[in-house]
Copies of this chain bind each other. A is one copy, B any other.
Amino acid sequence: MRTRDTAARAARPARRRPRVPLALLLPAGLGLLFLVLPLVGLLARAPWTTLPQRLAQPGVLTALWLSLQTATLATLLCVLLGVPLAWLLARVEFPGRRLVRALVTVPLVLPPVVGGVALLLVFGRRGLLGSWLDATFGVTLPFTTAGVVLAEAFVAMPFLVIAVEGALRGADPRYEEAAATLGAGRWTTFTHVTLPLVAPGVAAGAVLCWARALGEFGATITFAGNYPGRTQTMPLAVYLALETDLPAAIVLSLILLTVSVAILAGLRDRWVGAP
């Protein structure tokens, strides 16, 4: 980070380096500090000496791997269903659109455990849909890895939908008109013009979605249970560790954090870059 450096240079005309006004730099720095300081607190308290042995515990890597897998699958599911939903909300006028838009935020406001209960009520073995699924296809979702994906997707989807809708509303619809005059139907326009234009927004939404899914706990443990190797993701492992051993919980959290930050930082800029 060279933000302070940047601030110092702002005073005199500098070559090329854009000057950053203090009125922006100050709150930005404060915001960053606010987000990162707690992490520093955790790092300071982490029992570094025991780290290798904790990492070596077999359950940890399994949980980490499961977390990454399920969060990625959940993000895929969210993108598949959420981007069209965001498009519908941004581009099609229909009665009750405002209500639908507000309803999309439901899983955000719902305490995740209640969300898990709600999922059980619908997809559980005795749920509205779950009983039918079970009877017809012999499929039960709760307490399976698929259930974890479902719970994470439920909790994380609003992030994608709302971020993508915001991006769509900021995009110029006249490019879509131009595509139409060239013979592109709405679907082709969507895939060939709209999506590439809002790619940064979709990327931002997917990052939010993935990170939220990775950290999901309440809905997962309620809907999918806490079975090591099958439904025990890192946050669940952290929860159990909290029961007995705060430092262990901190270490597990840090492992999860490090991996996710590394993955996100490793994603090439152009994934998030403007076209």
Interface residues of A (CB under 8 A from B): 1-3, 5-6, 18-21, 23-28, 30-32, 34-42, 44-45, 80-85, 87-88, 91-92, 94-96, 98-115, 117-122, 127-129, 153-154, 157-159, 161-163, 165-167, 169-171, 185-187, 190, 197-198, 200-201, 203-205, 207-208, 211-212, 214-215, 217-218, 235, 238-239, 242, 246, 249-250, 253, 256-257, 260-262, 264-265, 269, 272-274
Q: Tell me if A239 and B113 are in contact (CB < 8 A).
A: yes
Which B-chain residue is minimally distant from A234 (CB atoms)?
B111
Q: Which of B39, B118, B163, B246 contacts A208 (CB 8 A)?
A: B163
* Nearest 8 CB-CB pairings of A with B: A166-B204, A41-B121, A31-B81, A38-B118, A108-B211, A102-B264, A102-B265, A28-B84
Residue in B28, B113, B115, B118 whose CB lies within 8 Å of A85: B28
Q: Which residues of B contact A110 (CB under 8 A)?
A: 39, 215, 253, 256-257
Residues of B within 8 A of A112 (CB): 215, 217
Complex Cα gap A37–B129 (Å): 9
Evaluate contact between A158 and B35: CB separation under 8 angstroms.
Answer: yes
Q: Is the CB of B158 within 8 A of A211?
A: yes
Q: Is the CB of A25 within 8 A of B84?
A: yes
A203 to B273, CA, bound (A): 21
A-B contact pairs, 5 of them (CB 8 A): A37-B122, A38-B154, A40-B128, A105-B211, A163-B208
Q: In the complex the two chains form, is B171's CB within 8 Å of A170's CB?
A: yes
Q: How many copies does the complex hold?
A: 2
Closest to A127 in B: B41
- A118-B41, A163-B162 are contacts. A157–B35 as well, Cβ < 8 Å? yes
**Chain A contact residues: helix, strand, loop or mixed:** helix
B85–A31 contact, CB under 8 A? yes
Residues of B within 8 A of A88 (CB): 3, 20, 24-25, 28
A42 touches B121 (CB 8 A): yes
Q: In the complex the two chains form, is A186's CB within 8 Å of B19's CB?
A: yes
- Which residues on the B side are within 8 Å of A99 (C-beta)? 1, 261, 265
Residues from chain B with a CB closer than 8 A to the CB of A186 are 18-21, 24
The answer to whether A101 and B264 have CB atoms under 8 Å apart is yes
CB closest residue in chain B, given A262: B102
How many angstroms between the C-alpha atoms of A250 and B119 in the bound complex? 13
A158 touches B3 (CB 8 A): no
- From residue A83, how far is it (CB to closest CB) to chain B in Å? 8
Given contacts A6-B94, A95-B1, A101-B264, whether A31 and B106 have CB atoms under 8 Å apart is no
